[in-house]
Amino acid sequence: MTVLSPRPDLWTLDPDVLHLNHGSYGGVPRRTQDLMAALRAEAEANPMLWFRSVAARLTTSRLELASYLQTDPAGFALVPNASAGVTVALATLPIPAGSRIVLTNHTYGAVRYAAERFARANQAEVVLVDVPLEADDETVVAVITAALDDAAVLVVDQISSATAMVFPIGDLVAVCRERGVAIVVDGAHAPALIDAPAADGADFWTGNFHKWPAAPRATAGLVVAEQWRTAALPLIVSWSEKDERLPERFDMQGTYDYVPWIAAPESLRLLDELNWPVRRSQLSDLVDEGARVLAKALATGVAEVAHPAATMRLVELPASVDLTAGEALKARVSKELKAEITLTGFDNRGFIRLSAHAYNALQDYEQLAERLPAVLA
């Protein structure tokens, strides 16, 4: 098989910096940036004309994004981010007093806040299920299933943030269906890492295009099961409020910057041209090797995640590193080493979560491995 070469030339990332954290805020390729600039120029040439054209352009973009996810366009709405998607889901689903919203100890912090807000408002309770990092799919399903008594809703990651672990969503959807528990799938990291990620049978699925598909920021999708399509409302009340069609109701969010939503399909086309499925599998090998190199330099190990996300790995931090000072450490690494990494904590363990995208090469990880031990010492 041909080895695809890294393509930093397609991005505008500072070449003097090691960019090893695509997973947090993504990175928009030059081509999509150019399209956004052209769209903005058009908008500023005649704002009235631009806003008259937005609805039709959004329809085109939405249909392309739904087709990329291989999901029914009638149940696919645009939202600014996965946080908004989860918020809409929890605002729509019935949460009876005394019931439970079940999360796991891998749930993204802001999603947990959303669950706590809706639990408070409905006199319900949030329950966190402990899922071991090393758990295989069967164990994950067993421990979550055991917590579903009296549950109104399960909110579960498709790929977790702190632990970069893939959850067995198909099985969890089946268990929830069987027990009459609503399931919200947080697929923030799923588009481009999981094929056809939109979790058939889930009540709600949300995922970010601004992470792995490298779309402009503030571009995410919400997939809504048929039974909730009338009830689901966008977070901003605007002129489309009375539109009975779900996707259109979410399109017009007042005077807003619609350029990212309109430009997003350009990034999907670029990934396609980059031979993404093959490239993703090569990036998986790359981040494996990069993680091994870094772990060796730090004299630690690579976390044994049973089902890791394709393009992210966790390298254990030395025990001497105090994660409560993590923000300061990341800022030091950024300033002194010219490297962008993220640190995560799980179950009293600290990790560097490494990413790989099409612009990365093995030397990025090797350089980090050369430089990082001195800062952590």
Residue 228's CB: how many other CB atoms inside 10 A? Answer: 17
Choose the binding region for ligand PLP from 104-112, 249-257, 265-273, 288-296 (rule: CB under 6 A): 104-112
Which residue in 123, 131, 126, 105 sits closest to 115, CA to CA?
Answer: 126
Which residues are registered as beta bridge partners of 287? none
Please pick, from the candidates 82, 222, 291, 314, the single residue that binds ligand PLP as defined by CB under 6 A.
82
* Least spacing, CB of residue 205 vs ligand PLP, in Å: 12
Instruction: For residue 353, state whether it binds ligand PLP (rule: CB under 6 A).
Output: no
Which of 229/353 has CB closer to ligand PLP?
353
Please pick, from the candidates 108, 205, 261, 359, the single residue that binds ligand PLP as defined by CB under 6 A.
108
Tally: H helices and E strands in the chain: 12, 12
CA dist 150 and 313 (Å) reads 35
* Least spacing, CB of residue 217 vs ligand PLP, in Å: 8
Find out whether 305 and 134 touch, Cβ atoms under 8 Å.
yes
Residue 285's CB: how many other CB atoms inside 10 A? Answer: 12
Instruction: For residue 346, state whether it binds ligand PLP (rule: CB under 6 A).
Output: no
Instruction: For residue 161, state whether it binds ligand PLP (rule: CB under 6 A).
Output: yes
* Least spacing, CB of residue 160 vs ligand PLP, in Å: 6
Which of 109/180 has CB closer to ligand PLP?
109
Site residues for ligand PLP, 138-157, by CB under 6 A, read: 157
- The H or E element that residue 203 is part of is none
Instruction: For residue 342, state whether it binds ligand PLP (rule: CB under 6 A).
Output: no
Strand 312-316 and strand 349-355: pairing?
antiparallel
Which residue in 88, 108, 118 sits closest to 222, CA to CA?
Answer: 88
* Least spacing, CB of residue 1 vs ligand PLP, in Å: 31
Please pick, from the candidates 111, 156, 172, 341, the single residue that binds ligand PLP as defined by CB under 6 A.
111
CA dist 225 and 339 (Å) reads 42
Binding mask 175-204 for ligand PLP (x = CB under 6 A): -----------x-xx---------------
* Least spacing, CB of residue 224 vs ligand PLP, in Å: 17
Binding mask 11-50 for ligand PLP (x = CB under 6 A): ----------------------------------------
Both tokens assigned to 220: 């995410």
* Least spacing, CB of residue 44 vs ligand PLP, in Å: 27
* Least spacing, CB of residue 258 vs ligand PLP, in Å: 17
Both tokens assigned to 126: 């949030």
List of residues 6+ apart from 319 with CB closer than 8 A:
none
CA dist 143 and 132 (Å) reads 10
Find out whether 264 and 61 touch, Cβ atoms under 8 Å.
yes
- The residues that touch ligand PLP, with contacts defined as CB under 6 A, are 81-83, 108, 110-111, 157, 160-161, 186, 188-189, 208
